[in-house]
Chain A
Amino acid sequence: MAEHLLEVQGLKQHFPIKTGFMKTTMLKAVDGVSFTIDRGETLGLVGESGCGKTTVGRSLLRLYKPTAGSIKYHGEEISDQNIQGFRKQMQVVFQDPYSSLNPRMTVGDIVGEPLDIHKLYKTQKEREDKVDSLLELVGLNTDHKRRYAHEFSGGQRQRIGIARALAVDPEFIVCDEPVSALDVSIQAQIINTFEELQQRLGLAYLFIAHDLHVVHHMSRRIAVMYLGKIVEMAAADDVINQPMHPYTQSLISAIPIPDPKQARERHRIVLQGEVPSPLKVPSGCAFRNRCCWRQDICAEQTPELRELAPGHQVACWNPQMPK
């Protein structure tokens, strides 16, 4: 089997938080996450707020220094020493199109900055041409090069962000909730843009979002996170149609369906209680306090991801096998 493009093993990201006078607790934002992504593939990473999905993305790119774990790109371990080289192959698109672009820079400058940093051109004309082609690639008018970011709508700004990420010709892009801040009608445009680019350029994505509809549409495989751990990982259709982890099941059933008849007929699993604070993760399985199928073992031992069906991994002592 060809090597994976990206291989993450046991990634941990802990942040020390002051919780009292002279007392520090470790916030375990990411607590042992492992997955792989192949060339041209999209892995969707889904979960609610506080589950650590954004932190996974940022740790991957070494924007935070991982507390533990290994990240291998093309089989090579990423460290502080060689990260600069990898920055040309791994890029990121952020969530908020309003704060991820410098308000004092023109569009041409924003998109051209990566070219400047990595010295990817020899003449000024070359730079101009590259910037133009990037703008066209994401569907923007090249006349707008001289304008400032704040003059554009959310969707257009997100395109600028994508163009910027593509400037270094990456193979892999971390998409950190790229459509969450956009209007519904614009989301579809940007999702299409991502897909077209993937087809044309053979990009691989880690697509992070909290909207399962969108993640299911974009991804070949989906990983569901809860409080810093992956609780289920499988092909996208399998996760949606045959979820085995109780959390995944309630997540899917909680999503409102834009179809009145289905909405009236379906049965909903409404979870009780709130998501525990990541500072006080329950022992054993973090989900046990809200789970209606919990058993004694769930409080004692933390379940590991096990393959319960081909390509379908679940971390649960009492998985709900599909009927």
Chain B
Amino acid sequence: MSQPLLQVKDLHTSFPTESGEVRAVNGINFSLQRGRVLGIVGESGSGKSVTAYSILRILDNPGKITKGEILFEDTDIVKLPQHQMRQIRGAKISIIFQDPMTSLNPVYTVGNQLTEAIRLHTNRNRQQAQERALEMLELVGVNEPHKRLKQYPYQLSGGMRQRVMIAMALACEPDIIIADEPTTALDVTIQAQILELMQELKEKLGMAIIMITHDLGVIAEMCDEIIVMYAGRVCERGTADEIFYNPRHEYTKGLLRSIPKMTASKERLTPIGGSPVDLLNMPKGCAFAARCDRAMKICLTEPPEEMVINPEHRAACWVNVKEGAMAQGGQHNG
């Protein structure tokens, strides 16, 4: 296997507040290969967005990365000084934010914002930057690109704005695009357009994508590999098929059971009981234990380590150990 493009090792990020320390990310690891789409699934409070912001080091004050390494092309970017980090942001690693309404500056034209990104990272002069901006708008399927360059964000619809965001992210041909809930704020039919666009662009330009979302449908459509996060930790990681057809963490199983599916019969849904964990009062042991139907005593005291299910699949859940032991016991007895 070739050298991964991005490696996150034991990342810990927290926010010291007056009520205590909010531990948003608690030791996650993952790696991203060139040209692959990695999906990070989780609900609110899982730490998925904070992970993205940690990679780009754009955490809101007072957030801090308290531990861990992020290796991008063999350099640990956690330790990089800001001026070097700026050369990576936008140029090597870009981000698309969730809400296109607020992530574009309302007082500058679309053209202005696009060319800003281009001129910051490449040596083009204004004329060349304009041409490049036009190219990008066409690439992302914005109609009447010449007209759009002179328009302000409020004159564009949500889908159009998101396309402009994508164009800005792609303008400098980054190696990695981080998409933080890129379609959550959009209507379903527009979402379909944007996802299709992202697929096309991935084929064409070959960049790697980190897709962060809570929508399991989007994950299933877009992603090659998936990690499931809960309370700042990775519960489970694997290929899309493994996660959806062979979930091995109780949280993942719970999530898959609780979504209504259009083809299924109208039985009662099986929700996950309880409420999301309070990041200010992290419990000992597995963060999911209080809500887990199959919680065992060990789950309350020891945080589970990630266990190998098969070469493409790992899960951090003690239930697997129990099942493994039982299987083994069966073998011995049988």
A residues neighboring B (CB under 8 Å): 48-49, 153, 155-156, 183-189, 191-192, 195, 210, 212-214, 216-217, 240, 250-261, 263, 268, 270-271, 274-275
Contacts and interface: CB of A to CB of B under 8 A. Distances in A.
B218 A271 contact: no
B43 interface: yes
Q: Is the interface of A mostly helix, strand, loop or mixed?
A: helix
B244 interface: yes
Given A156-B275, A260-B241, A274-B157, A184 B187 contact: no
Contact of A192 (B195, B261, B262, B268): B268
Contact of A185 (B188, B244, B254): B254
B220 A260 contact: yes
A270 B194 CA distance: 10
Given A217-B266, A258-B244, A153 B276 contact: yes
Interface residues of B, number: 43
6 contacts: A186-B275, A186-B276, A192-B269, A192-B271, A212-B188, A254-B189
A153 B273 CA distance: 13
Contacts of A261: 241
B177 interface: no
A49 B185 CA distance: 10
B214 A183 contact: yes
Given A254-B188, A258-B244, A191 B261 contact: no
Interface in B136-160: 157, 159-160
B268 A210 contact: no
Nearest to B257: A188
Given A255-B217, A259-B244, 19 more contacts: A153-B275, A184-B214, A184-B255, A187-B271, A191-B271, A192-B271, A210-B187, A217-B266, A251-B189, A255-B188, A256-B218, A256-B220, A257-B217, A257-B220, A258-B216, A260-B240, A260-B245, A270-B192, A274-B190
Q: Is the interface of B mostly helix, strand, loop or mixed?
A: helix
A271 B193 contact: yes
A267 to B, nearest CB: 12
Contacts of B193: 270-271
B270 interface: yes
B43 A185 contact: yes
B278 to A, nearest CB: 9
Interface string B222-256: 00000000000000000011001100000000111
The 7 closest A-B pairs by CB, nearest first: A256-B217, A188-B271, A188-B258, A254-B192, A217-B260, A258-B216, A48-B187
A192 B273 CA distance: 11
Contacts of A275: 157, 187, 189-190
Nearest to B190: A274
B240 A256 contact: no
Contact of A49 (B187, B196, B214, B260): B187
B258 A185 contact: yes
B244 A274 contact: no
Contacts of A189: 271-273
A157 to B, nearest CB: 11
Contacts of B221: 256-257, 260, 263
A258 B157 contact: no
Contacts of A188: 258-260, 269-272
Contact of B215 (A210, A214, A217, A256): A256
Nearest to A277: B157
A213 B268 contact: no
A150 to B, nearest CB: 13
A48 B188 contact: yes
B191 interface: yes
A192 B268 CA distance: 7
B17 to A, nearest CB: 16
A320 to B, nearest CB: 16
Contacts of B273: 189
Contact of A240 (B44, B262, B271): B262
A216 B269 CA distance: 13
B189 A48 contact: yes
Interface in B149-206: 157, 159-160, 187-193, 195-196
B215 A185 contact: no
B77 interface: no
Contacts of A183: 43-44, 214, 276
B133 interface: no
A274 B269 CA distance: 34
B292 to A, nearest CB: 12
Given A185-B43, A263-B221, A214 B260 contact: yes
B219 interface: yes
B275 A155 contact: yes
A192 B259 CA distance: 12
